[in-house]
Amino acid sequence: MAFHRRLLHFRSSFNRWSFSPGAREGFNGSFRSYNATLTPEQTLLQIVKEVKQDGADNLVMDDEIAKIRQEFNAAKQSFLKIPEALKEMPKMNPEGIYVNKNLRLDNIQVYGFDYDYTLAHYSSNLQSLIYDLAKEHMVNEFRYPEVCISFKYDPNFPIRGLYYDKQKGCLLKLDFFGSIEPDGCYFGRRKLSRKEIAEIYGTRHIGRDQARGLVGLMDFFCFTEACLIADIVQYFVDAKLEFDASYIYEDVNRAIQHVHRRGLVHRGILSDPNRYLVKNGQVLQFVKMLREKGKKLFLLTNSPYYFVDGGMRFMLEDSTGYTDSWRELFDVVIAQANKPDFYTSDHPFREGHFSFYKGGCVYSK
C-alpha cells in the first residue's frame, strides 16, 4: 500500500520534473542524479525500481516495529501475571536458614554457642518471673508505691524492637527510616493517635537530637522492662502525679539488673525448671553431629556456671549417656564472660578457677 501511494505521487509529479546533468537533489531530500540522455521510459523504470527499494525498506522497518511491539506486550502481560506467579511459589520454611552469601560450613572448624536463648530456651513464664522480682525490688528498695505489687505482666503488650523516650516517657516502634509507626506509640498503656504524636513530636520522624534521648529495648529480656515501664507510667498518669520519665527508666533497669546479678532469676528457674525451661532435642542432635564431624566446640555465656550446669543437666536428662557429662560436648566452657567486653578486653583469666575434664576445661570467675 505504501508503494502504491508513492507511485501515484511520482506519477502526478513526473511531468514537472526537469533533468539536467547538474541536478542532484532527489526524493525526500536525498541526492540522486538522472542522466539527461535517458528516455522518459528508462527514467520511469529507474524511479519505479528505487521506489520499490524504499518500499522494501519500509516493510522491514514495519516488521521491526511490530516485533518490538509484540515483545513489549509480552513483557507487559508477564508483569501483570506476577501476583499469580507469587501465589504459585512454594512458601518459605519458617524454620529454615537463609543467607545472602554461600558459606562452606565444612570449612569451619570451630563453632561457638551462647547459653540463653541459644542452647536454653524459655517459656513465657520467665518474663512473669523477672517482672515480679523487679517490681518487688522497686517497692522494697526504691520505695515505689505498694500498689505496684499488684501489677501483672501482660505477655500481649510488649514486642521486640521498641524504643523508650526518656524525655517524653513514650514507648516507640520506629520503621526503617526512623519514623514512628502510626500504631506504634504508647504513653503508659494507652496508644497515642496520630494527632497526639504530632503534638508531642511535631512530626513522625525522629531527628538526631531526639534520638539521643531514646534507649533500645531489643532482646527477649527487654519484654519485662517495656511492660514494667509502661505500667508505672500509667500508674502515675492515672494518679495525676508528676514524674520524671528518665528516672522511671533508670529505676526499672536497675531493678532488672539487680535480680539478674544477684542470681534471683537463676535460682527461680532452677527451683522449677519444668515451668521455665523448654527442652529442645534438635539442639542436642545438632551439637552431637558437629562433635562427631570432628569440629571444636565452645560455650561462652554471661550466666554463672552453676546455672548453666543445672539447666543443661535438666535439658539432657532424657538423653542416654549425657545426663552427667554434658561438658563432654564442648572443648571449652566459659561462664560469667562479661560480654561484650570479653571480645575486646586484654585482661587475662584470673580470680577464677579452671576445672578440667576429659577433652576440655571450664572457666568461671
Asked if 254 and 327 sit in the same domain, the reply is no
Asked if 266 and 127 sit in the same domain, the reply is yes
CA distance 34 to 19: 6
State the CB neighbour count (10 A cutoff) for residue 130. 23
Asked if 127 and 115 sit in the same domain, the reply is no
Domain contains 88: no
Q: Check residue 162 and give its pLDDT.
A: 93
265 half-sphere exposure, CB direction, 13 A CA radius: 25
Q: pLDDT-derived band of residue 18, with 50, 70 and 90 as boundaries?
A: very low
Q: Check residue 52 and give its pLDDT.
A: 62
CA distance 118 to 123: 13
Q: Please say if the pLDDT value at position 8 is more than 90.
A: no
Asked if 135 and 232 sit in the same domain, the reply is yes
pLDDT digits (tens, 9 = 90+) for 147-167: 999 999 999 999 888 999 999
CA distance 19 to 36: 5
Q: Where are the alpha helices (DSSP H) in the chain?
A: 2-13, 40-80, 82-88, 125-140, 194-201, 208-211, 222-238, 245-261, 264-271, 273-276, 281-292, 305-315, 341-344
pLDDT digits (tens, 9 = 90+) for 314-358: 988 876 555 557 888 999 999 988 888 888 888 776 655 555 554
**What rounded mean pLDDT belongs to the chain?**
82
Asked if 291 and 344 sit in the same domain, the reply is yes
Domain contains 102: no
Q: 220: which DSSP letter?
A: T
Q: Check residue 321 and give its pLDDT.
A: 56
Domain contains 66: yes
CA distance 284 to 303: 20
Q: Check residue 320 and give its pLDDT.
A: 53
The last residue of a domain, from among 227, 245, 271 = 271
Question: Regarding predicted confidence, which is higher, 344 or 128?
Answer: 128
Asked if 224 and 330 sit in the same domain, the reply is no
Cβ atoms of 127 and 223 within 8 Å: the answer is yes
Q: Check residue 211 and give its pLDDT.
A: 82
Of 63, 106, 114, 219, which is the active-site residue?
114
Q: pLDDT-derived band of residue 121, with 50, 70 and 90 as boundaries?
A: very high
The last residue of a domain, from among 271, 287, 314 = 271
Q: How many domains does the chain have?
A: 3
CA distance 76 to 81: 9
Averaged pLDDT, 44-54:
65
pLDDT digits (tens, 9 = 90+) for 198-249: 999 988 888 887 888 899 998 877 999 999 999 999 999 999 999 999 999 9
Asked if 135 and 236 sit in the same domain, the reply is yes
Task: Tell me which of 50-59, 159-168, 268-277 is least confident.
Answer: 50-59
Asked if 172 and 258 sit in the same domain, the reply is yes
Q: pLDDT-derived band of residue 21, with 50, 70 and 90 as boundaries?
A: very low
Asked if 115 and 126 sit in the same domain, the reply is no
Stated pTM of the model: 0.67
Q: Which residues pair with 298 in a beta bridge?
A: 112, 332
Is 63 considered catalytic here?
no
Averaged pLDDT, 270-274:
96
Task: Tell me which of 86-95, 114-123, 170-179 is least confident.
Answer: 86-95
pLDDT digits (tens, 9 = 90+) for 66-117: 888 888 888 878 777 777 766 677 777 877 877 778 878 888 999 999 999 8
Is 238 considered catalytic here?
no
Asked if 131 and 255 sit in the same domain, the reply is yes
Domain contains 89: no
Q: Please say if the pLDDT value at position 302 is more than 80.
A: yes
Q: Check residue 346 and give its pLDDT.
A: 82
Q: pLDDT-derived band of residue 364, with 50, 70 and 90 as boundaries?
A: low
Asked if 204 and 299 sit in the same domain, the reply is no
Provide the CATH number for the domain around residue 346. Answer: 3.40.50.1000
Q: Check residue 7 and give its pLDDT.
A: 46
Task: Tell me which of 58-62, 113-117, 191-195, 361-365 is least confident.
Answer: 361-365
Q: How far is CA 183 from the centre of its chain?
A: 19
Structural domain of 194: 122-271
Asked if 167 and 242 sit in the same domain, the reply is yes
Of 57, 62, 106, 116, which is the active-site residue?
116
Question: Regarding predicted confidence, which is higher, 136 or 26?
Answer: 136
Domain contains 209: yes
Q: Check residue 17 and give its pLDDT.
A: 46
Percent of the chain scoring above 70 in pLDDT: 76
Q: Check residue 285 and give its pLDDT.
A: 86
Domain contains 13: yes
Domain contains 62: yes
Domain contains 99: no
Q: Check residue 218 and give its pLDDT.
A: 85
